[in-house]
Amino acid sequence: MNTYTVGYFVGSLTRASINRKLARALTRLAPADLTMREIPIAELPLYSADYEADYPPPARALKDAIAAVDAVLFVTPEYNRSIPAALKNAIDWASRPKGQNSFARKPSATIGTSPGKIGTAVGQQHLKSILSYCNSPQMNAIEAYIQFTPGLITDDGDVTVPETAEFLRNYMDEFCNFITRVYMAIPRQRT
């Protein structure tokens, strides 16, 4: 049996983030073959090319954390029909220094929640475009745009609507299948 480690990013820096609740729910609903761990982004300074020769410790930690996982999952709000600056900043750091893009050939998936009816769909389209440029093989389906209604997910990540819980469980199963397919085509390189 193949087992994989998934590093997840929460695109929100907000303490009571609904996307963090969603990330907790996904961690609880993930199949046993996936080990989930957060890759933190809050401590990163704003990226500048002046750092390229000497990455600061939080940025080195970010790149090490991505290198240590088999796949990445983005759980993010939509900000002004795009992704939050904090998340874009993290992606910019990880994609550099030039020629050392951490996302290259790393399988990924995107998901997000918002109180609005389109549930981060537009922001995720931006994110998918960024990840394409970063050469990350992406799960195209299932798409997951989750409208957050009050109480949908508890602080502990318990999903209170059974249909939504089933959808999210299926999403994580499909992500596991997708990761397996990617590594069947391009085997993992263990150092």
Decide if residue 107 touches ligand FMN (CB under 6 A): no
Residue whose token pair is 């502990």? 156
Q: Which of 102, 114, 124, 136 binds ligand FMN (CB under 6 A)?
A: 114
Let me know how many helices (H) and strands (E) the chain has, helices first: 5, 5
CA distance 48 to 55: 10
Decide if residue 124 touches ligand FMN (CB under 6 A): no
SS3 114: strand
Site string for ligand FMN, 62-101 (x = CB under 6 A): ---------------xxxxx--------------------
Judged by CB under 6 A, the chain residues 18 through 47 that form the site for ligand FMN are: 18-19
CA distance 170 to 166: 6
CA distance 21 to 173: 19
Decide if residue 125 touches ligand FMN (CB under 6 A): no
Q: Which of 12, 110, 124, 136 binds ligand FMN (CB under 6 A)?
A: 12
* Contact set with ligand FMN (CB under 6 A): 12, 14, 17-19, 77-81, 114-116
